Amino acid sequence: MAFLKRANAMVVHPRISGRGWGGVRKTASSGSSRNLTDQAREILGGSVDPDQYLFTHCTIVASVDTDTVPNAKLGHVKVGSKTVNRKWADYYIKPESSQYVNNNGDSWSREVLKMAYPTFIGAHNFQEHVQIEEQSKGRIIDAVARDIGESLYVDILVATDRKNAALIQDIESGRMGTLSMGCTTDFTICTKCGHFAVDETELCECIRHAKLNTFLDDSGQTRVIAELCGHQSYDENPEAPGGVRFIEGSWVAVPAFPGAVMRNIMETGSATGLQDSDLRKMLAFTAPQWSETAVKKAASMAASPPSPRKAFDFGDDGEGGGEGEGEEKPPPPFSKLEDSLYALVVDRVKTRLEDQLSKDEKEKAIAAPLPPSDAPNDSLIKEGSATRYKTALRTLARVASSDAALVDGVVAINESYQLRVDPDVYRAVLKAGSTSKFQAPSDFVNACRKAAGRDFTPAELRVVVRVGTLLSHWESTNNPTTL
């Protein structure tokens, strides 16, 4: 049995004009050498018509680099009181690569991702992962890999059929702003003990109970516990290079994590100045391979600070997409993306809160998320769910990429447990900030009251204090030197 893995991508630019995908292809370190128009026609079974398809560009997944564990024994090895099945010794994720582990705790080595990313090409575009071919919304017509030095980014070009009018309207309006990748992996490898597992029943204790936590290796370096999907030496499945096969990209309503970025929607028409003929020329562009010198230059850029404007920008407003633009190093997609898009995320948090949490729920019983050290009230969350709830909050406080993303995550967790809180309670805490910014708890509470423009009920007050505490935990994790 294979594992099914998913990773979501959040909209950054809802529209783009110009030579976006041509620029991506041109600066990619590897990609299909086929004429894209011919490739797309073969996949779509007809002409590449922008009046028929909406073309969307998404940076969907990134790679990690690994270290070989010194003196690691292979085979069935006793580790503590457990026995692990270890096939390869290169299972530690380099500390600087930890940021490229997605928030589901899944990762792909650079070598595996370079082998497997072409399996995106031709995969279906579904909605909400309903993998019924008759309900396919379109296809993934191209994929490329971009070597940014410290990671390998995979970009995909999705053609969504405009006959799905409601979906297209939701995408273009921003209501449907998340694209989720689906892949199968024949096995995963634990990045702490090196255990090889082919399905959920074979997972080690590290992955079952400590995924996304960290540990100190024998040399004192901090490492992340995650699942490595596949291995570059595995060649037993021709349809899954390295043991990994990317099988679909789905439009989903609620993002699971800000692990990657939906980049741009390519449009034509008088409003953008891009005509149908321009798009066809762009799709016909055949990408040259990067020279070894260019790859080394990209790697040398790793120490340089990224340009905020060009971080995920290819030809915006009809500019760019030419020589050299791809040499700008984009920020890490899992840890810094939402920091550079703070205002956008805050607006999205507010909108989602207003849409999802009805004003009619205002006077209902309110359950607050407790600090990571506490368990939730058993009268509100049934026994057996308490640990999962607590773990979810702990993980959220550690991996959220911004304070807004953390609050957004609290809303999602509470919603999953059917806990209702008035939206303005969350907004007030987000505006006031964490408890650590205030000298006394009363100062924090007063700041939240001022932000909300009203007093809180006792239950709401508990929410305010506890969300503020979570924000404080997030700040201490992400800014350890802050006084």
pLDDT at 239: 93
Secondary element (H or E) of residue 79: strand 75-79
pLDDT at 474: 83
pLDDT at 10: 61
pLDDT at 87: 97
Residues constituting the chain? 483
Q: Is 20 helix (H, G, I), strand (E, B) or coil?
A: helix
pLDDT at 320: 34
Q: Is 466 helix (H, G, I), strand (E, B) or coil?
A: helix
**What is this structure's pTM?**
0.58
pLDDT at 27: 81
**Residues of the chain with confidence (pLDDT) below 70:** 1, 9-20, 254-388, 417, 478-483
pLDDT at 91: 97
pLDDT at 1: 64
pLDDT at 21: 77
SS3 of 371-419? CCCCCCCCCCCCCCCHHHHHHHHHHHHHHCCCHHHHHHHHHHHHHHCCC
pLDDT at 475: 82
Structure token digits, residue 341: 């898009």
pLDDT at 217: 94
